[in-house]
Amino acid sequence: MKRLLPIGIQDFPKLREGGFVYVDKTARIHELLTGSGQPFFLSRPRRFGKSLLCSTLGAIFEGRRELFGEMAGRPALAINSLDWEWKYVDV
């Protein structure tokens, strides 16, 4: 089965539920969120995933663990194997 490239998709739930190709960087997100507490400057050029990162963070803070689990026989994303408390945070 061919997997689709997520051209123009910046919505993490849509990307995961649609079975699109996704490069797992959730371990880096975990480091960002549980790090030293120091300010973190995120600078990336246009079209390099800033909106997708924000959408991924939104899914984490909404406690949507199912989006990070195994899909279509592919392994679960890295954040599931890390020390993480999955609970909804109302902002």
Task: Write out the residue range of the structural domain in which residue 51 sits.
Answer: 12-81
87 part of a folded domain: no
45 part of a folded domain: yes
Closest by Cα among 82, 40, 34, 77 to 56:
77
pTM above 0.95, yes or no: no
Number of structural domains found in the chain: 1
Neighbours of 77 (CB within 10 A): 21
Alpha helices in the chain (DSSP H): 12-17, 26-34, 50-61
16 part of a folded domain: yes
- Each residue of 64-82: pLDDT tens digit? 888 888 776 677 888 877 7
2 part of a folded domain: no
Q: How far apart are CA 13 and CA 8, in angstroms?
A: 14
1 part of a folded domain: no
31 part of a folded domain: yes
Task: Assess whether pLDDT exceeds 70 at residue 1.
Answer: no
89 part of a folded domain: no
What is the rounded average pLDDT of the residues 9-28? 87
pLDDT tier at 88 (50, 70, 90 boundaries)? low
